Amino acid sequence: MENHGYQHYREQQGQNILEMGQNELLLLLYDELVKQLTRCDLAITHENFALLDDSADRALAILRYLDDTLDLQYEIGRDLHRLYDYFSYELNRVKLGRNKAELDKVRPMLTDLRDTFRAANKNCAEGKGGPTAPPAEPQAAGR
C-alpha cells in the first residue's frame, strides 16, 4: 500500500514537470545544480568520494544540458557557453582533485547565476521584462 502512494507521488511529479513552462524548467535545473554542488561539499567534508563522484557527474550533466540548449547566434548564448565551459572545467577539478577550495569558488557563482535567472523570471512574470518602447527624450532645460 505504501508503495502505491509513492508511485502516485512520482506520477504526479512527472505530470507537474510536463506542465511547466521553459522558465520554470530552467529554474528547476539550476536548483538541482545547486543541490548537487551542496552534496559535493558534504561529500568532500565527510570524505565520501562515491557521493562526490555521483554528485559531480550529475552537476556536470546538468551543465552539459544547459550548454546544449543555448542559441549561440546571440551574444548572451555565447557568454553563457563560456561560463558553462569554465564551470565544467572547475567541477572536473573538484571531482578529480577532491578540491574543496575550487568548489567553494564555483558554488557561489552558480548560486548567483541561478538567483539572477530567478529574478529575471520574476520580472518577466510581473511585466518588468525591460522597456517595450524607446525611452522618452529628455526635456530641454528652461522649457
CA–CA separation, 117 vs 66, rounded Å?
Answer: 13
Task: Return the C-alpha cell found at 54.
Answer: 555521483
Burial track 61-77 (b if 16+ CB lie within 10 A, e otherwise): ebbeebbeeeeeeeeee
Q: Where are the alpha helices (DSSP H) in 1-143?
A: 2-18, 22-45, 49-68, 75-97, 100-125
Region 22-28 average pLDDT: 89
Q: Are 21 and 36 in contact (CB under 8 A)?
A: no
Summarize pLDDT for 60-92 with one digit per residue, the tens.
999 999 999 999 999 999 999 999 999 999 999
Residue-level pLDDT at 19: 63
Residue-level pLDDT at 137: 47
Q: Are 113 and 27 in contact (CB under 8 A)?
A: no
Q: What is the pTM of this model?
A: 0.76
CA–CA separation, 80 vs 121, rounded Å?
Answer: 17
DSSP 69: T
Phi, psi of 117 (to 5 degrees): -65, -35
User: Percent of the chain having pLDDT more than 70?
Assistant: 75
Alpha carbon 55 to chain centroid, angstroms = 15
Question: pLDDT category, 22, cuts 50, 70, 90?
Answer: confident
The residue whose grid cell reads 570524505 is 47
